[in-house]
Amino acid sequence: MLADSNSLRVVMAQLDFLVGDIQGNIAKIMTAAVDARDRLRADVIVFPELTVTGYPPEDLLLRPSFIRQVEPAMQRLCMEIEGITAVVGYPAATSEGLRNSAAVIRDGAIQAVYHKQLLPNYGVFDEKRYFVAGAEPTVVVINNVRVGITICEDVWQLDPVQKAVAAGAQLLLNLNASPFHTGKGQLRLDILRQRVAENGIPIVYVNLVGGQDELVFDGHSQVVNSKGELTHRAPFCAEGLYPVDFTIGVTVEPIPGEIAEEPSEEAAIYQAIVRGVRDYVTKNGFPGVVLGLSGGIDSALTLAMAVDALGADRVEAVLMPSRYTADMSNTDAEEEAQALGVKYQLMPIEPAFQSFLSILQPVLDGLPLDSTEENIQARCRGVLLMAISNKTGKMVLTTGNKSETAVGYSTLYGDMAGGFAPIKDVLKTMVYRLSVYRNRLTPVIPQRVLDRPPSAELRPDQTDQDSLPPYETLDAILHGYVEEDHSVDELIAAGFERATVERVTRLVIVNEYKRRQAAPGVRITPRAFGRDRRYPITSGFRR
């Protein structure tokens, strides 16, 4: 602990916690607290929202047996944490109901408890399903500084911060579990600056890091001084303990420190997906992953992300050419696999395809070729990948993007078969941008993969644009319809052709049933399919 009574050292514990692993999370809290005390000489360490249970625990919070584990865990923290103040997020069982809370632990006891006042119930958040809102501020004295506590959403609105300041707070500690999406970094900073402008006290914003199912928490914990200036920012998507020193005088001000770089949009998305893949595979205990490598752009990007997330030794690629696969597709797939150093094998699907056609001959005889035969090829590949998964324990990564997912340009039990979909929330045009970004780091995706027209190669000379509008047009319509909730008429008024808009929006609506059966994937936009956008499968809505 700092000896100078005119200073305060706060450590931002930007760490990754496993949902449901209360004992493991408690051990990690204690290790961090000791490190902050002994190595960093901190007065206080601040952890993210619901640190004890991990975030979001979802319906685990409805299980009495789960909640009963929290109190003894908190008691253990009180007994073990000495010589430092720890601010820890946890679910508090109260007479009024369960609350999303923060405990101030010091001297072997919980000195104060703050209950979150604003419970978000939009997008990916369902906190009103589980928690009762608090109403009162909490201000504690740490090293002669009156410190206010708030949790996540509380800082997005004026009232909770204003209450803390009215109660005497000179400094605000804000515990967060704020998931990533594009543009979120600037949005957070703008909000913090607005709260500071209204209330005139510095804010320490401590955010969770790590992947949890579809969500990725990107960290980027930060400090804004009383003038609204950014003085500290922790790295993007990286764990660590980050100290912040404050001077104590008439006001309490942070001494400027390290400000991690704000990544570009492509870098942020790429790093978030890599983090999401790594944590999903590792936290769920898979030894590695396997994926189909076609020589196309989607599987090429997915393979690069998988290797960056897990290492080449935990990734396996399978080339499964059909009668329609171009030689250059196999060549490009092998070139990338070799560049990344992954194990790969060639499994042509022609024998399996012929067998299915033979079995189905009474049904198919005399009928024209259509999507039936195309889907059989995709399902042959799905069977092979799932067999490898069953035998090795490796999870199958699917390679579909958001453009395809939106309009159903994918095959149930075929290319949709798998456990996780890294680029599920990535529009096709962004797939190309991310591939270019990845090649700037080290060139692993063959240039021809980026240059040639995209194709599923399920019939002779096929390209995606045989079935879909150009991706620049398709993605612009999808962005407006899915992410901005624009109507058909609004999209037409924006300049898109009526027939194209009506076709695309109809495909989005009628393929909801497919999306419900799709693997989860990393959320990188504010309106990902799934938690953000919950539409009925059965619906008469058409506009």
pLDDT tens string 258-285 = 999 999 999 999 999 999 999 999 999 9
Residues 226 and 308 in one domain: no
- The verdict on residue 299 lying in a domain is yes
- The verdict on residue 505 lying in a domain is no
Determine the average pLDDT of the residues in 517-528: 94
Q: Supply the CATH number for residue 39's domain.
A: 3.60.110.10
Determine the average pLDDT of the residues in 354-372: 94
Q: Is 485 assigned to a binding site?
A: no
Residue 7, pLDDT score: 87
High-pLDDT (> 90) share of the chain, %:
90
pLDDT of 193 > 50? The answer is yes
Determine whether 250 is exposed, middle or buried from the number of CB atoms within 10 Å of its CB (0-12, 13-18, 19+).
exposed
Q: Is 297 assigned to a binding site?
A: yes
Structural domains of the chain, count = 2
Residue 503, strand partner residues: none
pLDDT of 25 > 90? The answer is yes
Token pair listed for 6:
């005119």
Lowest mean pLDDT among 143-152, 453-462, 518-527: 453-462
Token pair listed for 53:
């249970």
Angstrom distance (rounded) from CA 345 to CA 353: 19
Q: What is the pLDDT of residues 51-95, one digit of tens each?
A: 999 999 999 999 999 999 999 999 999 999 999 999 999 999 999
Residues 289 and 214 in one domain: no
Residues 447 and 360 in one domain: yes
Domain extent for 330: 267-464+511-516
**Residue 155 DSSP symbol:** G
Residues 369 and 250 in one domain: no
Q: Does the global pTM surpass 0.85?
A: yes
Q: Which residue in the block uniquely carries the two structure tokens 């901190």?
A: 42
Residue 2, pLDDT score: 43
Across the chain, mean pLDDT equals 94
Residue 532, pLDDT score: 86
Q: Is 358 assigned to a binding site?
A: no
pLDDT of 3 > 50? The answer is no
Whether 176 contacts 15, CB under 8 Å: no
Q: Is 404 assigned to a binding site?
A: yes
Lowest mean pLDDT among 20-24, 291-295, 323-327, 396-400: 323-327
Whether 17 contacts 210, CB under 8 Å: yes
Residue 327, pLDDT score: 86
- The verdict on residue 343 lying in a domain is yes
Determine the average pLDDT of the residues in 434-457: 91
Whether 108 contacts 78, CB under 8 Å: yes
Angstrom distance (rounded) from CA 108 to CA 79: 5
Q: Is 292 assigned to a binding site?
A: yes
Whether 511 contacts 168, CB under 8 Å: no
- The verdict on residue 502 lying in a domain is no
Residue 123, pLDDT score: 84
Residues 79 and 141 in one domain: yes
pLDDT band per the 50, 70, 90 thresholds, residue 457:
low
**Which residues touch 35 (CB under 8 Å, ≥6 apart)?**
241
Determine the average pLDDT of the residues in 362-387: 94
Q: Is 294 assigned to a binding site?
A: yes
Residues 280 and 146 in one domain: no
Q: Is 191 assigned to a binding site?
A: no
Residues 230 and 342 in one domain: no
Q: Is 299 assigned to a binding site?
A: yes
Q: Is 514 assigned to a binding site?
A: yes
Helices within 368-497 (DSSP H only): 371-392, 402-407, 428-441, 447-451, 471-478, 488-493
- The verdict on residue 487 lying in a domain is no
Closest CA to 198 of 244, 247, 163, 250: 163
Domain boundary among 213, 233, 255: 255
Could you tell me the end-to-end alpha-carbon distance of the chain, in angstroms, rounded to an integer? 62
DSSP-derived pairing of the beta strands 289-292 and 395-396: parallel
Q: What is the pLDDT of residues 468-516, one digit of tens each?
A: 889 999 999 999 999 999 999 999 999 999 999 999 999 999 999 999 9
Residues 249 and 273 in one domain: no
Q: Enumerate the active-site residues.
A: 49, 116, 152
Q: Is 295 assigned to a binding site?
A: yes
Q: What is the pLDDT of residues 102-143, one digit of tens each?
A: 999 998 999 999 999 999 998 889 999 999 999 999 999 999
279 versus 326: the higher-pLDDT residue is 279
Domain boundary among 255, 287, 318: 255
Q: Is 122 assigned to a binding site?
A: yes
Determine the average pLDDT of the residues in 338-361: 96
Q: Supply the CATH number for residue 319's domain.
A: 3.40.50.620
Helices within 323-427 (DSSP H only): 327-340, 350-359, 361-364, 371-392, 402-407
Cis peptide before 48 (omega within 30 of 0): no
Residue 462, pLDDT score: 73
Residue 4, pLDDT score: 54
